[in-house]
Amino acid sequence: MKPIILATSYFVVTYVCHELSMSCCSGLYIFLLCQTVNIPTFSDLEYQQHLHDESWTRQETDHLFDLAKRFDLRFIVMHDRWDRSRFPNRSVEDMKERYYSIYNTLAKVG
């Protein structure tokens, strides 16, 4: 018997049927949760008051958060897709430090 696959944007359920006899079927359910990460947003005022950093421009920070949303905080992929023609090269550690610094600041403020 063929596997039955049900999918939505939130999860995928795969039902695999194993025939034990002609009239009996045992099932195995596999749940694969496909969740996206909630990336925080901030206003211009929040950025100016709480998030400004001399070593990061606003455009770099916006690019970082755009990549975080597009690639669900997979920092290795974000680093690979970093726009080096517009911004200085940043290490994965730099990106993580900046992202989590903003995340923690927004959690304290908000």
* Global confidence as pTM: 0.70
pLDDT (tens digit, 9 = 90+) per residue, 74-105? Answer: 999 999 999 999 999 999 999 999 999 999 99
pLDDT (tens digit, 9 = 90+) per residue, 35-79? Answer: 678 999 999 999 999 999 999 999 999 999 999 999 999 999 999
pLDDT in the model for residue 37: 81
Three-state SS annotation for 10-77: CEEEEEEEEECCCCCEEEEEEEEECCCCCCCCCCHHHHHHHHCECCECHHHHHHHHHHHHHCCCCHHH
pLDDT in the model for residue 42: 96
Structural domains in the chain, sorted by start: 4-33 (no CATH), 44-109 (1.10.10.60)
